[in-house]
Chain A
Amino acid sequence: MRLLIMKLILGGFLMVFETISSFLETLSTGSGLWNPLVWGVIAIIAFFIAYILRGFGRKDFKSEKEKAKVFLSGNPELKKEDMHLKSSNVYWGFLESLKWVYNVLEKMHTGNVSDYILWFVVIMGILFIIIGVI
């Protein structure tokens, strides 16, 4: 009797495993495997583990104390509306360090239509040389 139940459970387990592995095989893209449903399941499990770990923290922390205030190197903190970073100033460091690239690019994008046709003739010449001669 117990043997029969164990066989049934084992058979059910094997069937589930069979369908899961055939399901996994079908979603292969490119030269590898990618299955977004498996990714989704693993992401949910990861969020769950992070939530459990968050519950191990201390429960008696109040966030209005002096320790949780914003520190701006001694500058006074303004109203929230004035502290919003304008979009031209985001990524300032990146744009400053690549100034030499952006100088060339800004000079290239002039805006008058004659320069567009000049680039077209240049590319046509390069394609003539490469396809025709080489």
Chain B
Amino acid sequence: MNISDIVFHSPALIVAIPLLGAFLTPLVAKINDKLRNIFAILIALITSVLVAILANDVFSNGIRTYVFGGGEPLVNNSYAIRILFEVDGMNAFMAIIASILTVVAIIYSWTFLKNHTGQDKYYTLILLMIAGMFGMILTGDMFNFFVFLEITSIASCALIAFYTNKGKAIDAGFKYIVISSIGALFILFAIGILYSQYNALNMAVLANSISFSFLDKIALALLISGLAMKAGIVPMHMWLPDAYGRAPSSVTLLLVGATQASLYGIFRITLSIFGKAFNTTGTVLKSATLTGDELIMVSSYPNVISIGWILIILAILTMIIGVLMALKQSNLKRLIAFAALAEIGYMLLGIGVRFASKYSEIVKMNNQEYIQIGFHGYDISALTGSIFHIINDALDIGLLFLVAGAIYIATKETSLNKLGGLARNMKYTTVFFIIGLIAVSGLPPMNGFASKLIIYESTFQLNPIIGIIAILASILLLAVFVKVLHSAFLGPKIPNLKDVKEVPKSMLFAMGIIACIIIIFGLFPNIVIDNIIQPAVNAITNHEAYIRGVFNGI
């Protein structure tokens, strides 16, 4: 087989290889422990290589459709009856993020969990969760999305409750599975409503034939609220500090990826599936009334501006509440979890600004007046900033969680009140923490500044208050992490922390990978935006190309 065969089958291989690895891991673990570790990282590396090949192909050649079971996507040119994976620029971009997080998490957890029992089940569940995340990202079918969403949430809830000797972690896992299953059930209800109207489960077929009737509005409301609950948007965010704060650090790294995959679901549904309904124009009809005046009627088009504004209000609330609660915490991981919550608000702000910046004007074409609907110019840059912020946030918050795990391994303390003066003994960890601090609060020259600058400048043009609140949240995030730096790293030596040693090498290596990527993205943001982000933005706003991926030639 040659390279083109591998590229052709890679969407299925990216999901199938971790799934096979997950079920082989207990057998491999019976032989030797080191063999199991090497097996896990081998599976992750093979998947990352496949993702890189697929992303390279999609970014240069366009949408790639993979039909399970062979054959054409359409039967008789009208029915799409097979499950298919449709990979465009946005899917490839999210897959790159997931693969980076996977490799780092597995390298980190070699020595993080060295003295714990139950490591066999841990590696099995991590590979299963990765398979679920890749399936959720690459799929082109609505019910398939629901199934992979459930797989990811079941696997990750068992991983959150990893520390079974304490009661708090099990409670966090229980809350996560309750929230997750109720959200997924309402998503299934909305998928059922959409299926009953259009007799199709395929995303491209739905995008082609959608019209914004009353049942579609109900489905859209259910989908947005269900996915927003999984993504952690205020006021449905309260599972997030519990789940992120009480799980092992490498699991939290992958949970950040799973949360962003749910946010990707919101992007796909509102921009691609409902894209045609949001872009319709209406015709202006003229009719005469009894008094002889002319009555102008307009066929209804959806009120996208109010949808945009409710998303903007939710995003602003998320940013403010996340930062305010983070200032008060004294448990290190819970504090970083609230900071992660504040960063999710930035990602939702971009899509809200895009919808809220719609205008309508009356144009005259062929002696018939039409109402033309368009978007102002700054919506594309707001989307660019939000999508760039997805990868920046995953890397920055991931680095901070890994540093928190390193502190826990070295000192066995979780509360910030008992720490102090760690910078004398743990030099590398301090350097990584300072890099993470500069990146998360949006200071130059790291990558946080590049994406936040785009978000500030584009949301300022819609309404100045939004830009001001975004800048304020960044400044308060800087305050939060300077507090952590002062309490944990600077200061005199605490007597009972006299003999902490530096953490083992594999954890430093994992943190080093992420720090290098952060610095490279920060120093050359134009290379990243031109090659990775701009194809993703072009792919997600172009719902016609998404439809043509399945209906090619019609």
Check whether chain A touches chain B (CB < 8 angstroms).
Answer: yes
Which chain A residues have a beta carbon within 8 Å of chain B's beta carbons?
A: 26-32, 34, 36-37, 39-40, 80-81, 83-88, 90-91, 94-95, 98, 101-102, 105, 108-109, 111, 113, 115-117, 119-120, 122-124, 126-128, 130-132, 134
Asked if residues B303 and A81 are in contact (CB atoms below 8 Å), the reply is no
**Residues of B within 8 A of A (CB-CB), count:** 68
Q: B215 CB to closest chain A CB, in angstroms? A: 10
From A27, A81, A94, A120, B495 is in contact (CB under 8 Å) with A81
Asked if residues B179 and A27 are in contact (CB atoms below 8 Å), the reply is no
Asked if residues A123 and B228 are in contact (CB atoms below 8 Å), the reply is yes
CB closest residue in chain A, given B492: A80
**Chain B 229-240 interface 0/1 with A at a Cβ cutoff of 8 Å (1 = within):** 100000110110
Asked if residues A30 and B487 are in contact (CB atoms below 8 Å), the reply is no
Taking A31-B457, A81-B495 as given, write out 13 further A-B residue pairs in contact, using a Cβ cutoff of 8 Å, ordered by the A residue number.
A31-B458, A39-B445, A85-B491, A86-B416, A90-B483, A90-B487, A95-B327, A105-B325, A117-B178, A120-B182, A122-B235, A123-B228, A126-B310
Q: Which residues of A contact B522 (CB under 8 A)?
A: 36
Asked if residues A105 and B306 are in contact (CB atoms below 8 Å), the reply is no
Asked if residues A81 and B492 are in contact (CB atoms below 8 Å), the reply is yes
Asked if residues A120 and B225 are in contact (CB atoms below 8 Å), the reply is yes
Residue among B179, B238, B321, B523 facing the most chain A CB atoms (10 A cut-off): B238
B464 beta carbon closer than 8 Å to chain A: no
Asked if residues B457 and A32 are in contact (CB atoms below 8 Å), the reply is yes
Asked if residues B491 and A34 are in contact (CB atoms below 8 Å), the reply is no
Asked if residues B236 and A119 are in contact (CB atoms below 8 Å), the reply is yes
CB closest residue in chain A, given B182: A117
B381 beta carbon closer than 8 Å to chain A: yes
Q: A37-B523, A131-B220 are in contact. Are A86 and B417 (CB under 8 A)?
A: yes
Q: A5 CB to closest chain B CB, in angstroms? A: 37
Q: Which residues of B contact A81 (CB under 8 A)?
A: 492-495
Asked if residues B450 and A102 are in contact (CB atoms below 8 Å), the reply is no
Asked if residues A134 and B306 are in contact (CB atoms below 8 Å), the reply is yes
Asked if residues A30 and B417 are in contact (CB atoms below 8 Å), the reply is no
Q: Which residues of B contact A94 (CB under 8 A)?
A: 327
Asked if residues A128 and B218 are in contact (CB atoms below 8 Å), the reply is yes
CB closest residue in chain A, given B522: A36
Q: Which residues of A contact B174 (CB under 8 A)?
A: 113
Q: Can you show 17 pairs from A to B with CB atoms below 8 A apart?
A: A30-B453, A31-B461, A36-B445, A36-B522, A36-B523, A81-B494, A90-B483, A90-B486, A91-B479, A95-B328, A98-B324, A101-B324, A108-B238, A109-B325, A124-B186, A126-B310, A134-B303
Which 5 A-B pairs have CB atoms at the shortest separation, nearest pair first?
A: A87-B487, A87-B416, A30-B454, A36-B445, A80-B492
Q: Which residues of A contact B384 (CB under 8 A)?
A: 30
Q: Which residues of B contact A39 (CB under 8 A)?
A: 444-445
Q: Which residues of B contact A123 (CB under 8 A)?
A: 225, 228, 235-236, 314
Instruction: Give the CA-CA distance A124 to B522 in the complex, in Å.
Output: 39
Asked if residues A132 and B214 are in contact (CB atoms below 8 Å), the reply is yes
Interface residues of B in 150-177 (CB under 8 A from A): 174-175
Instruction: Give the CA-CA distance A109 to B306 in the complex, in Å.
Output: 28
Asked if residues B221 and A128 are in contact (CB atoms below 8 Å), the reply is yes
Asked if residues B523 and A29 are in contact (CB atoms below 8 Å), the reply is no
Asked if residues B450 and A29 are in contact (CB atoms below 8 Å), the reply is yes
Instruction: Give the CA-CA distance A127 to B327 in the complex, in Å.
Output: 30
Instruction: Give the CA-CA distance A102 to B325 in the complex, in Å.
Output: 8
Asked if residues A127 and B175 are in contact (CB atoms below 8 Å), the reply is no
Q: A86-B417, A113-B175, A123-B235 are in contact. Are A34 and B306 (CB under 8 A)?
A: no
B222 beta carbon closer than 8 Å to chain A: yes
Q: B459 CB to closest chain A CB, in angstroms? A: 11
